[in-house]
């Protein structure tokens, strides 16, 4: 004889809970995948010739070159580039720059490298 729940439904009490939890986990997983695919490191709209500043959050954003907060003019932007110190120095030196910003979203050793020179 098998154990039957008191309501005679033939289902054990934990099954509906597991089904609800499964859907919650599917929704959470879908959200995480969506965020991973649409994440932005804040450098998408930055291109060579623009002036940039470092925001308080550590992100780089474009500003007018006459802005007092401008720290430099972008001479090169490399996406999916190696972000280790030696690689960044070598890349920016090849474009006449000694200063660089790397993306805050560097994963697996790669990210966005922004090489800058003095804005003035």
Residues 30-81 have pLDDT tens digits of 766 655 554 555 566 788 888 888 877 667 888 888 888 888 899 999 988 8
Model pLDDT, residue 43: 64
> Does residue 19 surpass a pLDDT of 80?
no
Report the chain's terminal Cα–Cα distance, integer Å: 87
Measured between alpha carbons, how far is 91 from 82 in angstroms, rounded to an integer? Answer: 9
pTM of the predicted model, to two decimals? Answer: 0.61
Exposure class string for 25-46: b at 16+ Cβ within 10 A, else e: eeeeeeeeeeeeeeeebbbeeb
Segment 6-35 mean pLDDT: 66
pLDDT at 115 over 90: yes
Q: Mean of the pLDDT values across residues 8-29?
A: 67
Whether the CA torsion 92, 93, 99, 104 is positive or negative: it is positive
């Amino acid at each position: 004889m098998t154990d039957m729940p008191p309501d005679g439904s033939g289902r054990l009490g934990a099954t509906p809970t597991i089904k609800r939890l499964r859907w919650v986990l599917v929704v959470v997983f879908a959200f995480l995948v969506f965020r991973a695919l649409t994440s932005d490191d804040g450098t998408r709209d930055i291109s060579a010739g623009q002036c940039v500043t470092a925001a308080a959050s550590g992100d780089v954003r474009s500003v007018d070159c006459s802005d007092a907060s401008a720290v430099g003019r972008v001479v090169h932007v490399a996406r999916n580039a190696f972000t280790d110190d030696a690689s960044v120095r070598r890349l920016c030196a090849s474009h006449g720059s000694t200063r660089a910003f790397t993306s805050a979203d560097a994963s697996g050793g790669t990210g966005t490298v922004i090489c800058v020179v003095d804005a003035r």
